[in-house]
Amino acid sequence: MSAAGAFCPGGFFIFKFTQKINTTSFRRLFSIINLHSVLSCHIYSNDLPAQKVKSTKRSCQKEDVVLAANFIKQTFTIVASAGNGGTISPSGDVAVEYGENRLFSISADSGYEISDVWVNGQSVGAVSSYQFEDVTADQSIHASFEMLPPDLYSLTLLASPIEGGGVYGAGDYEAGSRVSVSAMAYPGYQFIHWTLDGQVISTQSSFTFTIPAENVSLVAHFEEGTLVLCSFSQGYWFAKPQAVWPYDVVVGGLSFSQAEGQQFWPPNSPTKRAFTQYATIYLSGVTLSEFSELQEAVMVIDNYFAKVYPAPANGQVNKAAGFIGDWVDKNHCVETLQGIAQADTPDNSNRAVELDGTIQAKAFPSPFRSQFTLEFQLEEPRQVTLELFDITGERINVPFEGPVEAYEKHTVVINGKELPAGFYFYRLTAGKETITGRLIRVY
């Protein structure tokens, strides 16, 4: 027997026989073909119907015969899977034909990273893609992921001036963390307030700060000078429409504007009482470092707003609010100030005032930053003295002193650039008549 053959595109073998061959020869021929991953084959000839080789019983005649063998290419399965935190593509049972290549891409979800990739049970590292080449068997690939560590933001604390005191609580924190920061004045200095980007955020030396999703720097301001040893009342800050808050109240890391703070008035519940008493001390700028028990009561309320609010205040918080109320009654600014009997009268800083029709005066603006103006006139000629006091009653200076004619309008511009932020009072004396008013200096 002799035969000639060629492999044709599309998976066909074509043979031309020059002599008679029998079934055994066919089987021997196709046994050789099957070594090349043939799954099935059929015989085609000009006088034989298509049939499987192993079922052929008849011999071929001595004539030209064309045989066509149809092959189905062998396929394999790659099982692709991914753990929590990411995906692999393609995934599932992926069919791959014999000898082909197949690429897989691995992607991590937001907040995750690729931990490892396993191919047939062997680690290939934290790769973002993997390609199987010349596939000749079933395979597997699995991607695992892990959570990224949370972003941390830097909290920097500074003291101004640096020799004024120490600051505590700096570090790297997650956004939304509530961090307790504190400042301690060195001998000869007193703490004023904390600022963020030049804005006052707390007048308490210790308070809770909520970390934003960015790096921030807080500055603790200190100064040499007098201490604030008294406080205005709740009614002064909440009940008098003329009272202007010099800054928002920050308690437990929460900030309340004057309009928002009015929701706590009147103080007819433990929560409202806690806020109004805290705000009274906060807005009055009391030097808490001088009163340890008062400072402890303030911190109880600060912790309540940081961790429990808006749930109702408990008995401990209510007790702390009661202590603050008693302290204010005993250390009221009206009783502490020396020579300013009307310190707790309605705010006269932005409106004209009269006393027995003799004096009219107006101070503006309030709050002021660098300077303020006092305008006044009298109905009778008098000797006039204008004095400026700090909140403790200590006289700072005498901006004006001299005779004033009746109905002569006087304007006095007072430079306050060198004054620390806080509360100030002016006293205008004309003969036996006196009026006072309050001013607020802010940075």
Q: What is the residue type of 93?
A: D
Strands 102-108 and 75-82 come out as unpaired
Residues 415-443 have a mean pLDDT of 80
Q: How many alpha carbons fall within 13 Å on the CB side of residue 383? A: 2
What's the confidence (pLDDT) of residue 42? Answer: 43
What's the confidence (pLDDT) of residue 288? Answer: 78
DSSP state of 109: P
Any bridge partners for residue 375, and if so which? 362, 411
Lowest mean pLDDT among 350-354, 368-372, 418-422: 350-354
Is it the case that residue 66 has pLDDT exceeding 80? no
Strands 75-82 and 139-147 come out as parallel
What's the confidence (pLDDT) of residue 67? Answer: 61
Residues 11-15 have a mean pLDDT of 47
Is it the case that residue 120 has pLDDT exceeding 80? yes
Asked whether the whole model's pTM tops 0.85, one would answer no
In angstroms, the CA 234 to CA 282 distance is 11
In angstroms, the CA 121 to CA 160 distance is 61
In angstroms, the CA 364 to CA 137 distance is 89
Higher model confidence: residue 335 or residue 203?
A: 203
Element (H, E) at 398: strand 395-404
What's the confidence (pLDDT) of residue 40? Answer: 40
Residues 124-142 have a mean pLDDT of 96
In angstroms, the CA 94 to CA 385 distance is 96
Residues 209-235 have a mean pLDDT of 84
What's the confidence (pLDDT) of residue 64? Answer: 56
In angstroms, the CA 55 to CA 63 distance is 21
What's the confidence (pLDDT) of residue 35? Answer: 43
What's the confidence (pLDDT) of residue 188? Answer: 59
